[in-house]
Amino acid sequence: MNAKIQISIDVIDLDEALDLARASVKAGVDWLEVGTPLLLAEGLHAVRAFRAEFPDAPIVVDLKTMDGAGLEAEMMFKAGGDMVVVMGQAHDASIIEQVKMAQRYGKQVMCDVMLCPDKPGRARQAQDMGVDYIIVHTGFDERNMIPGLSPLDDLEDVLAAVDIPVQAVGGLSVPQAIETLALGAEIVVFGAPLVISGQEFKAADPNFDRQLREIVAEVRRA
């Protein structure tokens, strides 16, 4: 299995985030994500700190951009990010501007189709505008209000609509995350409930290191 494994670091303390990222790299995770809560808490400092600590690791910055897409992307790329996230609900102009900026810096754009009424259709449009990846995402608040919602509900339709890599995100169990690969996703993402505990944006398991090593091994065996 050649799938990429991504870890969403959604804690709000930079020291804790770096500890989790170190454990993640040691466990064999491929991509590190500066999650939205961490980015809001620590800003560009978090991206720079991740780049300094992990000079060779691909870094995803979960901007969730809705506007000002070119400027936001440029700041993240200059700070050391490799991939930024624009929302599918954003105007086409924002997606296009973020793609242009990524191309200028030799970086990449992910489009998150969370809450798009037609996720497969918007994913296809985003692909046509030049994004590199699609994220099928069930949001934290959404799934806590409506138990049972899952990105798996839309994954197969989105996969059928695009030719670029797709990832599914949003409270998936380890077996569910691995299932996304069987369905055709090329990137498996782990975050909540592994990285965050309930409603608290802090590490969920004191045995995070061991647990993550076991998860990575399980993905590699799949």
Find the domain containing 183 and state its range: 4-221
Per-residue pLDDT, 142: 94
Splitting the chain (222 residues) into consecutive groups of 10 residues, what average pLDDT does each group show? 89 94 95 97 98 99 98 99 99 99 99 98 99 97 92 98 97 89 94 58 68 90 84
Per-residue pLDDT, 52: 99
Whichever domain contains 8, its CATH number is 3.20.20.70
CA distance linking residue 218 with residue 103, whole number of Å: 35
Q: DSSP labels for 31-42?
A: EEEE-HHHHHHH
Per-residue pLDDT, 205: 63
pTM above 0.85, yes or no: yes
Per-residue pLDDT, 21: 95
* Helix, strand, coil percent content, the chain, rounded in steps of 5: 50, 20, 30
* Cβ proximity of 134 and 152 under 8 Å: no
Domain count of the fold of the chain? 1
Per-residue pLDDT, 197: 53
